[in-house]
Amino acid sequence: MSNNFFKILLKTDERLDLKQTLFSGQSFTWNFSALYSGYFANIIDNTIIFMREFETGIIEVLSNRKQINSLPINEFIFRYFSLEIDEIKVFSPKFKNEFPEVWRLVKPYESVRVMRQDPFEIMVTFMCAQGIGMHLIRRQVSMIAEHYGEKHVLDTEKGSMVLHGFPTPAALASAKVDELARCTNNNRIRAANIIQMARSFESGKLALACVSSGECDLETLRETLCAHSGIGLKIADCIALFGLGRFDAFPIDTHVKQYLWEWFSIEVASKSLTEKNYRIMQDEARKILGNEYAGYAGHMLFHCWRKEVKKMTSF
């Protein structure tokens, strides 16, 4: 690995399963490194980052800058993977007692962390996630980065490597619909919605909502997000959960709806996913999972359901 990179070894006490976390469907910008097998690569805050599991319970982080988002790398990583959250708080003793079979299945996934990712990036990527498979979402996101993100060329002893950062709000705010649509599965409506959202972010309206999202009540936050065309309840909840650190937000998609019915016998989960039913389903889920970490638990269950029950492999 290039010697002008800063290297950090981070002890995680096996509370972070790096691969499962990065490829559990919450992030679409991390990739397998083309030049260095075993490493995952991404760009955050104009900083190139490589990560891998160095040995059991220890993560190796390589970066070309000492700080990310004004935090020392180790502090950033700790926060990025929400390592302050204790698994025991996520699933209550009551849950483990009442649903022993589900707990047996999901326990191996307790080292899947819900990440705190960049809000704008999450808004764009989850606006790309409607009614299509994971691989198509990933393709759209990488095309958007290639066309509108800043290009980084990294020269190493193994050759040259090209990476693209995620586009800034300004870059997407000034994009043309026809051009962006080539990156969004040829969906012009989706492209136009993303441009509109980026302009709202540029204006400061959306950006401000992100700053105050921690204290804001969830319903107010959702209203602000849903005011934008292309963002409904589900995507708003995904933005809150994965981009704003709101671990109480509980997005319900086709998979979550399935496990709510199969695992917890929530009646309304067998009916159609209308807005009214969506809200009822959330209330029922909170009774079982608790409120504070409903979404955090939900993501573990989501990943577990797809892998263990549906036997899905695409991420």
Partner DNA sequence: CTCCAGGCAATTG
Partner DNA sequence: CAATTGCATGGA
Applying CB under 7 A, the residues found at the interface with DNA are 24-26, 129-137, 181, 185-190, 226, 228-236, 238, 251, 253-256, 271-272, 274, 276-277, 299, 302, 306, 312, 314
Q: How far is residue 64's CA from residue 199's CA, in Å, rounded to a whole number?
A: 31
Q: How far is residue 146's CA from residue 153's CA, in Å, rounded to a whole number?
A: 13
Nearer to DNA, 253 or 284 (CB): 253
Q: How far is the CB of 180 from DNA (least distance, A)?
A: 11
Nearer to DNA, 116 or 234 (CB): 234
Q: Which two tokens stand for residue 307?
A: 């892998």
Nearer to DNA, 265 or 270 (CB): 270
Under 8 Å between Cβ of 201 and 207: yes
Nearer to DNA, 62 or 231 (CB): 231
Nearer to DNA, 70 or 272 (CB): 272
Q: How far is the CB of 57 from DNA (least distance, A)?
A: 25
Q: How far is the CB of 275 from DNA (least distance, A)?
A: 7
Q: How far is the CB of 273 from DNA (least distance, A)?
A: 8
Nearer to DNA, 172 or 256 (CB): 256
Residues 303, 304, 310, 315, CA torsion sign: positive
Q: How far is the CB of 171 from DNA (least distance, A)?
A: 21
How far is the CA of 82 from the CAs of 1, 50, 274, in angstroms? 27, 18, 32
b/e sequence 228-261, b meaning 16+ C-beta within 10 Å: bebbebbbbbbbbbbbbbbbbbbbbbebbbbbbb
Q: How far is the CB of 271 from DNA (least distance, A)?
A: 7
Beta strand pairing status for 159-164 and 6-11? unpaired
Nearer to DNA, 164 or 222 (CB): 222
Nearer to DNA, 8 or 233 (CB): 233
Q: How far is the CB of 253 from DNA (least distance, A)?
A: 4
Measured at the alpha carbon of residue 102, what is the angle toward residues 101 and 107, in degrees to the nearest 5? 105
Q: How far is the CB of 93 from DNA (least distance, A)?
A: 25
